[in-house]
């Protein structure tokens, strides 16, 4: 691999700029679609870009009681992490990450960082609403990380068995395995895991029904309460990048079948759009917000059972 | 080069004014104007999200502040505190006659009307309460003022 | 799966948003909006000032006459002034375009003056206001209103008695 390939992958494609533009565009489509489903006209498709430009013009205020370096450093860490994570997810037929980058276990850890950053931000701001958001974020993270790890384990074991080993956590190998043996989307053993993964989307992306930590009507956007201007913009960047990472991770894990070259990129975009429509927009406009205890119980019941079922089935077969 | 940067900034400002986030402060209102504000925000008929508006829960995220109510003596300090939390550049819209002149509560010992002796108010939307269309017009006026301030 | 039916309906029927900020807005026919004041019709009875709850209407006696002032930024658009006005000198139009920048705050007022005049019969200083039409049979004609405008209250009473001899008090 060439020496400039890493920075290029992290900063331009598929991480960094490409993922950011894609994430913001997806957010715009999502807002527009949600508006249409509610019989509204909705904002222009470029609205998330306008928001970001607007936030760049605003002043950042730091509360007196906040710890300034942590308060201002948290969004930076979050956005940087997600840029790195975006470079780790393979796009079938278009982009294959370096083996050192494309490791599912590392990605799992990176995916936990936005939630951790939000917790740190919430507690560093010194606001009681931030503290409530912090505790809710932590409870929610504990709830959804378990099923996610089991889903990943089921896939890793499946791929590992297929290659005669025990488990494979390389994303490249997972994509390659599905290219040979057919996508996991059409594998009945994996269906419970897929359902569990779909439940993980709204929780990780912080949308209804699991936007409990950032519920603006209850805790006034929780950890983000004290942020303004460019710092808030960085959080928006982080969530846009995170949506791309998580959505394309789902595609890489369950349905990476695609032609190579430009056509592969187009297919990837279509899949992203479809997955966002089903996994995010439809869910968010048809549900109300859960309470944190309801969400906790939900995750420890259905997604956990489903992902466990998949794992057991994979191990036994 | 400087001219290029100037045009770029102007373009960016033009884009930025398409994303006004709205925050509501209730300064002791009777809730009539708040209901109209909620109507403007929530029902598909008026859909302010078309203009890029978004109601935000935190004063730190706000660009345009809608103030309702006559600023009662009890809530005055809190309103001034919340108002100071809103980052510049901001534009204030007084919704209803109460914040503008005190309306029906004028000359009461319990209200500090008019409000603009404490808070710089940029746009007035008279009415008791104003209809949603009038509030949208007021927000449009506020966006024009905001553009000059960015 | 009721919600899916709902989504289908919403998507097929299209948005129900009105065109307003980019197009004309619908206005209900009886909307109570901006006040219009018709100075020649005002009798100067000050009933509107009495019933105005927020005190948006004010009459001041000045050396030039009776000054009428009405401020939209205090008005609650209740319509009582319109209801109690005997001559419909004060009416509410359906114009609701009242939002304005603070710089134009004090332009949102109506300032009119009912001037003093000399009574055409006895020469005393009196207000040139329209006569009160309440209980007058048959109603005033336009010429009569102009004629009564230049009479003092005493002379108006006399002129009214002459005008309707049948209704005049008899011994």
Contact C168/B at CB under 8 A: no
Q: Which backbone phi and psi does A174 adopt, to 5 degrees?
A: -60, -45
Two tokens, residue A216: 């603006």
User: Chain C residues with CB inside 8 Å of B141's CB?
Assistant: 99-101
Verify whether the Cβ–Cβ distance C17 to A286 is below 8 Å: no
| pLDDT at C153 (0 to 100) | 85
CATH of B2-149, one of 3.40.50.12280, 3.20.20.70, 3.30.365.10, 3.20.10.10: 3.40.50.12280
Contact A288/C at CB under 8 A: no
C100-101, strands of its sheet edge to edge: B54-55, B21-26, B64-68, B91-95, B123-125, C100-101
Specify whether domain C31-96+104-163 bears CATH 3.30.70.20. Answer: yes
**What is the C-alpha separation between A118 and A239, in angstroms, rounded?**
11
Two tokens, residue A124: 């560093």
| pLDDT at A186 (0 to 100) | 77
SS3 percent helix, strand, coil of chain C, rounded to 5, is 35, 20, 45
User: Is the pLDDT score of C166 beyond 70?
Assistant: no
| pLDDT at C23 (0 to 100) | 78
Cα angle A174, A178, A184 (rounded to 5 degrees) comes to 100
- Helices A104-124 and A68-86 pack at an angle, to 10 degrees, of 160
Q: Which site among B44, B49, B133 would you substitute to test the C interface, given the most C Cβ atoms closer than 10 Å to its Cβ?
A: B133
- Helices A191-205 and A229-254 pack at an angle, to 10 degrees, of 180
Integer-rounded Cα Rg, in Å, for chain C is 24
Quick one: closest CA in C to B46, which residue? C17
Verify whether the Cβ–Cβ distance C20 to B46 is below 8 Å: yes
Which residue ranges make up each domain of chain C? Answer: 31-96+104-163
CB A181 within 8 A of CB A129: no
Residue A53 has its nearest CB partner, among B16, B21, B49, at: B16
Quick one: closest CA in A to B85, which residue? A61
User: Is the pLDDT score of C93 beyond 70?
Assistant: yes
**Which 44-73 residues of chain A touch chain B by CB within 8 A?**
44, 47, 49-51, 53-54, 56-61
Label the pairing between strands C57-62 and C65-71: antiparallel
Beta-carbon contacts of C16 under 8 Å, excluding residues fewer than 6 positions away, are: A39, A40, B44, B45
Two tokens, residue B42: 């929530």
SS3 of chain B: the string is CHHHHHHHHHHHHHHHCCCCEEEEEECCCCCHHHHHHHHHHHCCCCCHHHHCCEECCCHHHCCEEEEECCCECCCHHHHHHHHHHCCCCCEEEEECHHHHHCHHHCCCCCECCCHHHCCCCCEEECCCCCCHHHHHHHHHHHHHHHHHHC
CA A160 from chain center: how many Å? Answer: 25
Label the pairing between strands B123-125 and B91-95: parallel
- Residue in the block written with tokens 């509204």: A40
User: Chain C residues with CB inside 8 Å of A278's CB?
Assistant: none
Size of interface A-B (CB pairs under 8 A): 86
Verify whether the Cβ–Cβ distance A59 to B47 is below 8 Å: no
Q: How high is the mean pLDDT in each 10-residue block of chain B (150 residues)?
A: 85 83 89 87 82 84 89 90 87 90 86 87 90 89 86
Residues of chain A with confidence (pLDDT) below 70: 1-3, 5, 12, 93, 99-101
CB atoms within 10 A of CB B3: 7
CB A148 within 8 A of CB A108: yes
Beta-carbon contacts of C112 under 8 Å, excluding residues fewer than 6 positions away, are: C37, C39, C42, C67, C68, C69
Size of interface B-C (CB pairs under 8 A): 93
| pLDDT at B123 (0 to 100) | 92
User: Is the pLDDT score of C171 beyond 60?
Assistant: no
**What is the C-alpha separation between B34 and B42, in angstroms, rounded?**
12
User: Is the pLDDT score of C155 beyond 80?
Assistant: yes
User: Chain A residues with CB inside 8 Å of B49's CB?
Assistant: 31, 35, 40-43
Q: Which site among C4, C9, C17 would you substitute to test the A interface, given the most A Cβ atoms closer than 10 Å to its Cβ?
A: C17
Beta-carbon contacts of B101 under 8 Å, excluding residues fewer than 6 positions away, are: B113, B114, C54, C71, C73, C74
Verify whether the Cβ–Cβ distance A39 to C17 is below 8 Å: yes
**Which 3-32 residues of chain C touch chain B by CB within 8 A?**
15-18, 20-21, 25, 31
User: Is the pLDDT score of C66 beyond 60?
Assistant: yes
Residue A54 has its nearest CB partner, among B16, B56, B57, at: B16
Of A202, A27, A207, A282, the closest CA to residue C8 belongs to: A282
Verify whether the Cβ–Cβ distance A40 to B44 is below 8 Å: yes
Reported pTM: 0.82
The answer to whether the Cα torsion of A217, A221, A223, A226 is positive or negative is negative
Q: How buried is residue A45: exposed, middle or buried, by Cβ count under 10 Å (0-12/13-18/19+)?
A: middle
**What is the C-alpha separation between C30 and B52, in angstroms, rounded?**
32
**What is the C-alpha separation between B47 and B41, in angstroms, rounded?**
6
Residue C69 pairs with which residues in a beta bridge? Answer: C58, C111
Beta-carbon contacts of C78 under 8 Å, excluding residues fewer than 6 positions away, are: B128, C32, C53
Cα angle A125, B85, A129 (rounded to 5 degrees) comes to 40
CB C67 within 8 A of CB C36: no
Which residue ranges make up each domain of chain B? Answer: 2-149
């Amino acid at each position: 691999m060439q020496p400039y390939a890493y920075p290029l992958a992290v900063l331009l494609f598929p991480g960094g700029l490409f993922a950011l533009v894609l994430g913001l565009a997806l957010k715009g489509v999502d807002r527009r679609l949600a508006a249409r489903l509610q019989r509204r006209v909705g904002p222009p498709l470029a609205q998330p870009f306008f928001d970001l430009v607007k936030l760049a013009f605003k002043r950042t205020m730091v509360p007196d009681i906040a710890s300034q370096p942590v308060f201002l450093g948290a969004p930076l860490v979050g956005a940087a992490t997600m840029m790195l994570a975006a470079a780790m997810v393979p796009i079938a037929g278009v982009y294959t990450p370096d083996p050192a980058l494309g490791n599912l276990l590392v990605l799992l850890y990176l995916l936990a960082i936005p939630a951790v950053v939000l917790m740190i931000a919430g507690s560093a701001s010194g606001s009681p609403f931030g503290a409530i958001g912090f505790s809710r974020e932590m409870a929610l993270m504990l709830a959804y990380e378990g099923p996610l790890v089991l889903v990943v384990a089921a896939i890793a074991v499946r791929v590992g068995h297929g290659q005669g080993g025990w488990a494979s956590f390389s994303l490249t190998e997972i994509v390659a395995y599905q290219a040979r043996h057919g996508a996991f989307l059409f594998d009945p053993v994996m269906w419970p895991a897929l359902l569990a993964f779909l439940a993980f989307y709204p929780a990780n992306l912080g949308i209804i029904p699991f936007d409990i930590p950032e519920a603006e009507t209850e805790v006034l956007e929780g950890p983000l309460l004290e942020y303004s201007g460019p710092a808030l913009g960085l959080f928006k960047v982080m969530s846009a990048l995170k949506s791309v990472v998580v959505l394309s991770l789902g595609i890489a894990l369950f349905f990476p079948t695609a032609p190579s070259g430009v056509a592969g990129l187009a297919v990837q975009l279509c899949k992203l759009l479809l997955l966002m429509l089903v996994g995010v927009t439809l869910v968010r406009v048809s549900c109300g917000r859960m309470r944190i205890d309801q969400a906790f119980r939900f995750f420890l019941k259905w997604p956990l059972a489903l992902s466990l079922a998949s794992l057991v089935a994979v191990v036994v077969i | 080069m400087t001219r290029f940067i100037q045009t770029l900034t102007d373009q960016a400002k033009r884009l930025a004014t398409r994303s006004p986030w709205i925050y509501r402060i209730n300064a002791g209102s009777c809730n009539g104007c708040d209901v109209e504000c909620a109507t403007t925000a929530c029902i598909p008929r008026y859909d302010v999200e078309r203009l890029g508006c978004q109601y935000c829960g935190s004063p730190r995220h706000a660009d345009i502040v809608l103030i309702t109510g006559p600023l009662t003596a009890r809530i005055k300090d809190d309103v001034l505190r919340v108002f100071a939390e809103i980052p510049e550049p901001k534009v204030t819209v007084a919704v209803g006659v109460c914040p503008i002149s005190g309306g029906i509560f004028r000359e009461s010992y319990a209200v500090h009307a008019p409000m603009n002796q404490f808070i710089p108010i940029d746009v007035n939307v008279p009415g008791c309460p104003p209809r949603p269309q009038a509030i949208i017009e007021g927000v449009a006026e506020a966006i024009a003022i905001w553009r000059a301030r960015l | 799966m009721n919600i899916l039916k709902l989504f289908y309906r919403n998507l097929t029927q299209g948005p129900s948003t009105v065109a307003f900020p980019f197009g004309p807005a619908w206005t209900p026919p009886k909307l109570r909006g901006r006040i219009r004041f018709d100075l020649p019709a005002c009798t100067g009875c000050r009933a509107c000032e009495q019933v105005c709850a927020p005190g948006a209407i004010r009459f001041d006696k000045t050396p030039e006459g009776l000054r009428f002032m009405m401020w939209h930024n205090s008005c609650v658009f209740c319509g009582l002034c319109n209801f109690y006005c005997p001559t419909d000198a004060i009416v509410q139009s359906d114009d609701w375009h009242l939002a304005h920048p603070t710089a134009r705050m004090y332009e949102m007022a109506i300032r009119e003056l009912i001037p003093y005049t000399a009574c055409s019969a006895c020469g005393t200083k009196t207000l040139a206001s329209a006569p009160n039409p309440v209980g007058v049979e048959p109603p005033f004609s336009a010429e009569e209103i102009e004629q009564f405008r230049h009479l003092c209250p005493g002379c108006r009473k006399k002129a009214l008695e002459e005008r309707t001899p049948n209704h005049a008090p008899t011994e």
